[in-house]
Structure 1
Amino acid sequence: MTDSARSTSDAAPAPGAEEDFAARARRVSKVYGSGDARVIALDGVTVGIPRGRFTAVMGPSGSGKSTLMHCMAGLDAVTEGEVFIGDTELTALRDKQLTRLRRDKIGFVFQAFNLVPTLTALENITLPMDIAGRRPDPEWLDRVVDTVGLRSRLGHRPAELSGGQQQRVACARALASRPEIIFADEPTGNLDSRSGAEVLAFLRDSVREMGQTIVMVTHDPSAAAYADQVLFLTDGQIVDTMAQPTAERVLERMKGFELPGVTAR
């Protein structure tokens, strides 16, 4: 990173700073393959995700942004290093313990909505808790439903909802169990600009009004502008951070890193 980039960066607190982190990675590396086929997806990443904040992760294809999210969410094992959700070290858990932690403390939103077509919107929202044999907190569920703005559509099945409405149902499903943190991987990738903006506004409101912690992987500077901070990855390393992002500043910063294939939307 150039000195000018360092001087203009509104950096978020360093991982070692005194702060309440919902998730942390400490010297995390992820290597795929061996020999000539060896690929270093993450190279000694140390980062903390502040609790009650919206963090966007950006970088070109192959930069390691999705790998970082998958490792921090316990979906993929690290090659070296440690990952924590709160005070719990994921990398020390057995498979059953890790499955339980993902179910109880982590929410997921992906580019594909992953809704069950035969269930109503409300049934899709409560499905993970139903499978776990847990009753939803009625007051919290009502708050989530009001925040997602689909109370009049709760009895509809996915085929009767627009793409944006389906993704908001998926977001509400992630929120319904009150997880420690939600990981969202390109959540607006299958949506038009208007529907995408609705979903991003919902995610932002869930942070500001409900105290949720969200980490979102995205390639879109306009989407990153909804976040409180942006982490930039290249070649498996975090190379910069930005607080209070705007689409213009994010795009300009990414141009400075010479990241290919990035356009504002």
Structure 2
Amino acid sequence: MDTTVADPVRQEPTAVTTTIPGTSGRGTAHAPAAAASATELTKVYGEGETKVVALDHVSVQFMQGEFTAIMGPSGSGKSTLMHCMAGLDTVSGGSSRIGETELTGLKDKKLTQLRRDKVGFVFQAFNLLPTLNALENITLPMDIAGRKPDQQWLQRVVDTVGLSGRLKHRPSQLSGGQQQRVAVARALAARPEIIFADEPTGNLDSRSGAEVLGFLRNSVRELGQTVVMVTHDAGAAAYADRVVFLADGRIVDELRDPNAEHILDLMKRFDAKGRVS
């Protein structure tokens, strides 16, 4: 299945203008805070001869109201970085924060609560419950938490991802692209501080992938959301405001206001084993 996504035509100026949560109207974020950050983050698997350093003292910030893509060769640590910063995996050393909350050392109950209340997730597998319709899948995390959705915000999210006419349909009645839109809406509905997306277009054809990336782009531009996306696709990464490049478990470069051509030029610097040439 073709998962290559076309490089988007950028209409916005270089300065990213977003609606910042908690403010009215549109405004430019001149000095946004970090929605998530890592300092000297390390992740090691195994020991001795089987020791693998997946993350090697990584320090990075993902700013509020910004769309960041994480790229790098296979095995470079992309997904490991996302999982550690989202609280889905433990770290071997260093610091990882969501907003001002340090994840290292949080007990399971507090970590689960933080992920539920402050973090949204979109994965390559849509992870929808087949017995629930689209709306029920969107509100499921809030239902489990015993929270009522903000109906005005929920309607805005549904409109942003273009699902108004499909809310009563179950996953089996939706296309792959529509199912991923439901997953994006579910991540947005609780108004998290940050959304982590791991290869969100990996199971989609190019047209559906472009639609989903457009919705993620719009969630940043129109809703003031913060999105961090792991991807191997230069066309997908071109939807972001910033691309961070990993190799050998380290951040080796970054690119602002990217396009697919510039991304591919940088990717050529990495050899098949992920080393910088």
TM-score, structure 1 as length reference: 0.90
Q: Match for 1:207 among 217, 220, 225?
A: 220
Q: Work out the CA distance in 2 between the residues paired with 1:173 and 1:19.
A: 25
Question: Counterparts of 1:37 and 1:137 in 2: how far apart (Å)?
Answer: 49
How many correspondences in the alignment? 245
Q: Is 1:99 equivalent to 2:112 in the alignment?
A: yes
Q: How does 1:165-176 map to 2 (within 5 A)?
A: 165-176=178-189
Residue of structure 1 equivalent to 2:124 = 111
Match of 1:219 in 2: 232
Is the Cα contact below 8 Å between 1:116 and 1:124 reproduced in 2?
yes
Contact 2:73/2:270 (<8 A) preserved: no
8 Å Cα contact 2:35-2:194 kept in structure 1: yes
| TM-score when normalising by structure 2 | 0.87
Superposition pairs for residues 86-165 of structure 1, below 5 Å? 86-165=99-178
Q: Could you list the runs of 4 or more consecutive aligned residues of structure 1 that deviate by over 2 angstroms after TM superposition?
A: 256-261
TM-aligned CA deviation for residue 189 of structure 1: 0.1
Matched, 1:253 2:266: yes
- What is the RMSD computed on CA atoms of the aligned residues? 1.3
- Give the C-alpha shift of residue 92 in structure 1: 3.0
- Residue of structure 2 equivalent to 1:244: 257
Is the Cα–Cα contact under 8 Å of residues 163 and 191 in structure 1 kept in the other structure?
A: yes
- Please, which runs of 5 or more residues in structure 2 have no aligned partner? 1-13, 15-30
Report how far residue 19 of structure 1 moved: 4.9
Counterpart contact for 2:122–2:184, Cα < 8 Å: yes
CA contact (8 A) 1:59 1:259 kept: no
- Stretches of structure 1 that go unaligned for 5 or more consecutive residues are 1-9, 11-17
Shift of 1:112: 0.2
Superposition deviation, residue 213 in structure 1: 0.3
The amino acid that maps onto 2:116 is: R
The 1-side partners of 2:152 and 2:271 are apart by 47
Deviation for aligned residue 1:99:
0.5
Q: Report deviation, 1:38.
A: 0.4
| Alignment match, 1:3 | none
Q: Structure 1 counterpart of 2:208, which letter?
A: S
Offset of residue 257 of structure 1: 2.8
